[in-house]
Amino acid sequence: MKTMTAKDLKNALLQEAVQGRLVPQCAADGNARTLLDAIRAEKQKSAKSKSSKPLPPIADDEIPFDIPESWVWVRLGEVCDYLHRGKSPKYGDDKILPIMAQKCNQWDKIYTEKCLFADKQTIERYSEEQYLQIGDTIINSTGGGTVGRTGYIEEYVFSVYPKFVADSHITVVRGNKQIEGKYLYYYLISPFIQIGLEERCSGSTNQIELGTETIRNYMLPLPPLAEQRRIVSAIEKLLPLIDEYGKKELVINALNSTIGQTAKKAILQEAVQGRLVPQCAADGNADALLDALTEAKKDLVEKKLVYKKATTKPYYEQDEYPFNIPSSWKWVQLSDVSVIQEGAGIRKWQYRNCGTQLLCVTNILNGKVDLQLKQLFVDTAEYKEKYLHLTVNKGDIVCSCSGGSWGKVAIYNLDDTIMMNTSTLRLRFFKDLADNLFLYYIVQSDFFKNQLLGQLSGMQPNFGYAHYSRICIPLPPLAEQRRIVSAIEKLLPMCERLGKE
């Protein structure tokens, strides 16, 4: 059974509240129909209400759930004294009248320090009812991602400035004085309103609008006033407990994620030290494998399939290796056993709208390559003439080796023809004589990354052949490499689950 999150609990609490199941009904509270009649009678006397567009009656097939007999379904606009968008102001430097904008209205609180200010001429345009009041609810009403965000005007809002008005992207909801303002607020942030809210908006994807008439037509389950107040009181006793649960949830999630990462690092470290699977005499030792890899490199260089580069000094001297390895293993320098090739510095003027795609650091995620994340191309004729040697082959280990994303690594398993670009690098055991998946997991280990960090000069990581070629790795016999890979691939999914639970 899935554990409920703090958000799930809050939604459940608010849904119970608007369905009349959070507090018991009390006969002494009376009936909401009497309350509604009183509000309607009051509105009949108001010239403003007579000029408002009539709201349609609620049909039986519109009612989404049952409510207590003492409650009544109404349109939100019926029980509001003021429900309007703010105005588009002209801004000025005089810090007299702050303008409440969408950026001020966040889910956790209202940030008055983010307000801009109206100029003097604009101030004169506002009537008294347009000034925000304690008990108002404000709703962000424009733009994908922000629309529907709802805040409540409490006393603290006026701690610095005595008056505020809303701009044209905020709708102000002010209930009748016979309605508990906080009840309307909790109703407006409940899943009954918030779930599917964007579907009730109009406009384009980037500039959707939550219309004032849409809000006026919201269906409100209305309890008697005394019950509204008891509901608000019950919510406000329980919300701090949910908030505290949410804080603990964040700590637990962070801990789970850390446990998963720590377990993965430990598994990879055990693997490179030869302690993940038992050694088997039948596997032989790595001497013959190292000889075969050395011959393979010589052959590839002679055929000019691999460029011969200047020999680099290994990161560790023979007597400096950081840990012991099994007697059947060998310490080797990465450049002696694998292809190490970094991408070309392709210039912007070489880019084309189509052709042969470049592998960029953005395309490399931890564990996979996504060619849709960034699409840069060079002319295919130019690629065939100059850059065939930079082709990424299926099964290559590709690494991001520069900037803030350095260290990301993946196996290239796509069929698309691509070539390496700046700050990318590929690795592969010569002629696939050893298990490339074993190398892939070594590259992800802290032991491997620390050898790169030990060569870092300056603040900005920028690693290439000269750095990777110096790295030393332990080389087991091929059969043991395969058993190590099999063990890792059984254990890593468990680490991932730890991070999600």
Q: Please give the share of the chain, as a percent, with pLDDT higher than 70.
A: 97
Q: Which residue has the tokens 């922000």?
A: 146
Question: Which of 48-62, 147-161, 223-237, 368-382 has the lowest average pLDDT?
Answer: 48-62
Looking at every residue in the chain, the average pLDDT score rounds to 92
CA 214/CA 192 separation, integer angstroms: 14
Same fold for the domain at 6-237 and the one at 284-479?
yes
Comparison of pLDDT for 261 and 21, the residue scoring more: 21
Residue 292 pLDDT more than 80?
yes
Residue 50 pLDDT more than 80?
no
Which segments of 217-283 does DSSP mark as H helices, in order? Answer: 225-272
CA 230/CA 203 separation, integer angstroms: 39
At 355, the pLDDT band (50, 70, 90 cuts) reads: very high
Q: Compute the C-alpha angle 276/278/284, nearest 5°.
A: 120
Mean per-residue pLDDT for 166-177?
Answer: 96
Q: Dump strand ranges (E) for 334-389.
A: 338-342, 351-352, 356-359, 364-365, 368-369, 377-378
Residue 107 pLDDT more than 90?
yes
User: Class assignment of domain 284-479?
Assistant: alpha beta
Residue 10 pLDDT more than 70?
yes
DSSP-based three-state secondary structure for 59:
coil
**What is the structure's pLDDT at 1?**
52
Mean per-residue pLDDT for 462-490?
Answer: 95
Q: Compute the C-alpha angle 107/113/117, nearest 5°.
A: 115
> pLDDT (tens digit, 9 = 90+) per residue, 371-392?
999 999 999 999 999 999 999 9
Q: Please give the share of the chain, as a percent, with pLDDT higher than 90.
A: 78
What residues does each domain of the chain span?
Answer: 6-237, 284-479
358 DSSP β-pair partners:
419
Question: Which of 8-17, 85-94, 112-121, 202-211 has the lowest average pLDDT?
Answer: 202-211
CA distances from 285 to 328, 430, 475 (A): 4, 18, 9
Which span out of 228-237, 248-257, 452-461 was modeled with the highest average pLDDT? 228-237
**What is the structure's pLDDT at 500?**
61
User: Class assignment of domain 6-237?
Assistant: alpha beta
Say which residues have a Cβ less than 8 Å from residue 75's Cβ, sequence separation at least 6.
Answer: 55, 56, 58, 216, 217, 218, 219, 220
